[in-house]
Amino acid sequence: MLQQNQNEQVSEVQVGSQPQRIGWKLARAWCEYSPDTTRKRQAEYEQQPQNVDLPELQPKNKKKPFPVPIKKMVQDARRDKRLAQMRIEKPLEAPKNGLLVPELVPVAYEVLDNWKVLIRGLSQLLNVVTVYGCRKCPQVHVGPVGHEIQDCYGSGSQRRNSHHSWARGSINDVLIPIESYHLFDPFGRRVKHETRFDYDRIPAIVELCIQAGVDLPQYPSRRRTSPVRMIGKKVIRRGKVVDEPKPHRSEDCVSLLAELDTFSNQQGQSPSPSNVKELAESTLKAYLNVRRGVEQLMSKYTVKACGYCSEVHVGPWGHNVKLCGAFKHQWRDGKHGWQDAVIDEVIPPNYVWHVPDPSGPPLRSSLRSFYGKAPAVVELCVQAGAAIPDEYRPMMRTDIVIPDSEEARWAA
């Protein structure tokens, strides 16, 4: 008798007048699927994704979503109201009670130093890398020539087939200026609509650093030695009211504004850099350090943002200036709808199209699904010679090969 293998089967078939024994082997197929392998591959992709979409644009006819869940806000409000009804003082920790956080004072100084390096570097890099801004819409493009993507929604866009009307841009197109009122005492009198001209408008990042412990003689700030006490929403002890000292209007103030404000650093006023690549790397590093430091300061210090427009206020509560012209401002008498701010409202990323090859042809609408995007500061520094940061590489889609116009039709 023939010995058959475990994976071999034998059967008899009728061939002519004699039965024949035919055998065949069964191939053993092993399934490579396992839950552990799938989880490992998913974790590797999350650590190094190849493609990341930008956050969705919020419609202008709706209020911005709250960064803090509404359920948690309602719970905190009910707890504070319950304590106020029992006449129990609200427990406040620094800096909610007006005192400084000692461990965040060096962070504030570091953020301000990096902010100066960022503004100085961008003003010099604009002499090397060209920036364009559309005359009809807020879109910005970084590159030798403007792109040809038809996504303009400004006035007269139908006559231009949604093509942009490009003009030479400035540092304010790359780093969108977000200003805030400078307050000598954040827990003092609120800024009213009638007294809005009595306060200086400075960059919100600078005001955040001042309230976090940075001392600037041009912009004094009150440093409390005793904490603020509150019952509910009512302040029962804030110390005596101190009149704000007059700021120093001298040459030192003008030079400080030139270092801190983007309006004083327009294109053509700064000299061209000698080592472009080194300057681009230091500028990009300063930008990342500023975002990291501001996010750390905002975890403790209160920054408010309007839920309808781009107004930002640094302090425990928002101001009462009636200058909001956004959605349904008539219902609010022009007042802002204050809520907790996020990092992108204090430092707007201002996403622009990523140009893989600045010396190549301009970007086209037929290939827009293959192009990536990046913040304008990152794109400017990358085109100047800096290395692409790892956190922005998936967003810029550096691993995607851009096909030709004829090949794009066959791409999945």
Q: What's the mean per-residue pLDDT of the chain?
A: 83
pLDDT tier for residue 104 given thresholds of 50, 70 and 90: very high
What's the token pair of residue 402? 């851009």
CA nearest neighbour of 120 among 275, 280, 13:
280
Confidence of residue 32 (pLDDT cuts 50, 70, 90): very low
349-386 per-position pLDDT tens digit: 999 999 988 888 899 888 888 889 999 999 999 999 99
- pLDDT of 31 over the 50 cut: no
Distance CA 278, CA 275 (A): 6
Res 288: pLDDT: 96
End-to-end CA distance of the chain: 58
Distance between CA atoms of 314 and 179, rounded to whole angstroms? 10
Single pTM value for the model:
0.83
* pLDDT for res 238: 76
- With CA atoms as reference, report the closest residue to 180 among 223, 160, 209: 209
pLDDT(402) > 80? no
194 pLDDT above the threshold of 90: yes
- Region 150-167: mean pLDDT is 89
Predicted pLDDT at 334? 92
Give pLDDT, residue 71: 93
User: 3-state SS string over the chain?
Assistant: CCCCCCCEEEEEEEECCEEEEEEEECCCCCCCCCHHHHHHHHHHHHHCCCCCCCCCCCCCCCCCCCCCCHHHHHHHHHHHHHHHHCCCCCCCCCCCCCCCCHHHHHHHHHHHHHHHHHHHHHHHHCCCCCEEEECCCCCEEECCCCCECCCCCCCCCCCCCCCCCEEECCHHHHCCCCEEECCCCCCCCCCECCCHHHCCEEEHHHHHHHHCCCCECCECCCCCCCCCEEECCEEEECCCCCCCCCCCCCHHHHHHHHHHCHHHCCCCCCCCCCCHHHHHHHHHHHHHHHHHHHHHHHCCCCEEEECCCCCEEECCCCCECCCCCCCCCCCCCCCCCEEECCHHHHCCCCEEECCCCCCCCCCEHHHHHHCCEEEHHHHHHHHCCCCCCHHHHHHHCCCCCCCCHHHHCCCC
Give the model confidence (pLDDT) of 240-257 as tens digits: 667 777 655 555 566 677
pLDDT at 268: 46
Residue 139's closest CA among 116, 159, 162?
A: 162
Give the C-alpha separation, 364 to 378, whole Å: 21
Asked if the model's pLDDT at residue 52 lies above 50, the reply is: yes
pLDDT at 25: 46
Rounded to an integer, the average pLDDT of 403-412 is: 62
- Residue 248 tokens read as 């120093």
Residues 154, 136 contacting (CB under 8 angstroms): yes
Q: What is the mean pLDDT of residues 39-63?
A: 72
pLDDT tens digit sequence for 107-125: 999 999 999 999 999 999 9
pLDDT score for 59: 83
pLDDT score of 236: 82
